[in-house]
Amino acid sequence: MISLIVNEDGSLRLVPEGVQAKPAAAEIVVRDSSTVTRDIIGGYLLGFDTIVAESSSPFTSEALRSLRQTVRRLVGAEIVEEFPQKVVVKVLLDPRAVAPEIVLRREAALVHRMIIDSVNALVESNVPLAKAVSERDEEVDRQYFTLVRMIRSAIRSPDIGREGTLSRLRLLDLRLAARLLEDSGDEASSLGQDVARSSGLAPGLSVVKTLRRLGETVAELTREATAAFLAEDHALTVTVISRYEEFTPQMPAAEREAAQADPQVRGLLSKALTRLEHIAANAYDIAELVSPAAVKHPA
């Protein structure tokens, strides 16, 4: 049996059944770029196996340090050659080695913990914990970048339809869910930075109980929304949406309570409530990706 594959350039390819057609290793060369670190991330996300950064003049020590830090954020990537005017990055990540859902689950677990810890750092005026939350955002980015690369590779793979694992629609939904989680991680990280910059200002006992309740609700919404999406659990989706609809009316009262706090912490509390509301909205959007019970994704 022969499968007909449509390549990205519109050409056709015939692949015998049982033969795993793998795309040729791809290389991208970035020359004299003023945004070389972003270009390396872009090449990684686009699925290139080799990324070469070249410069007409020697890279500065600061530029090389930034390049190394960037590569460390990319799972499966490593610098294999480093010269004064050239850096070669190889990506050894096999997109078939781990299911995209597993990576999304890891990302969700990290974000869930970041939400809890960022709120705890706020109510406890715990600056070290706040800084730790911000630092953890890098690991969320690593999982996000990995997932995006895997999804793009899977969509471009000629075997995806024959393997019958994930439909292209499901892969696109995974990409969106990962982006929403990454955004929630950024919000939790930013809350940690807000707390660290406040030098441990105490929010006041009157608002602590409200913050803890809202933080716990937002963290749980994020966890349940991701679980509903991964399991395509329509009933759990309905629960998440109902909880979100119960959550939003609580915000005006929380904002009024924050406005009555010590003037030194009002700004911090206002930012915190805005960030929690944003994270909750992301959870709602993830839950909304679950199709109605009667709908099945075509492969």
Q: What 3-state DSSP class applies to 78?
A: strand
* pLDDT, mean of residues 218-237: 95
pLDDT recorded at residue 98: 74
pLDDT category of residue 174 using cuts at 50, 70 and 90: very high
202 Cβ partners below 8 Å, 6+ apart? 125, 265
Question: Is it the case that residue 297 has pLDDT exceeding 60?
Answer: no
By CB neighbour count within 10 A (0-12 exposed, 13-18 middle, 19+ buried), where does 54 fall? middle
C-alpha–C-alpha distance, residues 130 and 268, integer Å = 13
Is pLDDT of 214 > 60?
yes
CATH 1.20.58.220 in the chain, residue ranges: 100-288
Residue 60 has pLDDT above 60, yes or no: yes
pLDDT score for 294: 36
Calculate mean pLDDT across residues 118-140. Answer: 93
Q: For residue 293, what pLDDT band results from cuts at 50, 70 and 90?
A: very low
Percentages (nearest 5) of helix, strand, coil residues in the chain: 65, 10, 25
Provide the token pair at 194.
């807000």
How many CA atoms, within 13 angstroms, populate the side-chain half-sphere of residue 84?
Answer: 3
Q: What is the pLDDT of residue 11?
A: 52
Q: Specify the domain boundaries for CATH 3.30.110 within the chain.
A: 27-91
Specify the fold of 27-91: Translation Initiation Factor IF3 (3.30.110)
pLDDT at 283 over 70: yes
Tell me the residue ranges of DSSP E strands in the chain: 2-6, 12-16, 27-31, 50-54, 77-83, 86-91
pLDDT: which is higher, 27 or 236: 236
Lowest mean pLDDT among 24-38, 188-202, 282-296: 282-296
Q: Give the Cα separation of 43 and 37 in Å (integer).
A: 10
| Among 265, 258, 291, 246, CA closest to 195 | 265
| The pLDDT of residue 16 is above 70 | no
Indicate whether 1 pLDDT > 70: no
pLDDT value of position 9: 45
Q: What is the pLDDT of residue 44?
A: 86
6 beta partners: 12
Mean confidence (pLDDT) of the chain: 85
Interval 194-204 mean pLDDT: 80
100-288 is classed CATH 1.20.58.220: yes
> Mean pLDDT throughout 244-261?
92
How far is residue 134's CA from residue 186's CA, in Å, rounded to a whole number?
8
Sequence-separated contacts (24+) of 81-87 with Cβ below 8 Å: 84/58, 84/59, 85/54, 85/55, 85/56, 85/57, 85/58, 85/59, 86/52, 86/53, 86/54, 86/55, 87/52, 87/53, 87/59
Cα 62 to the center of its chain, rounded Å: 27
**pLDDT at residue number 12:** 55
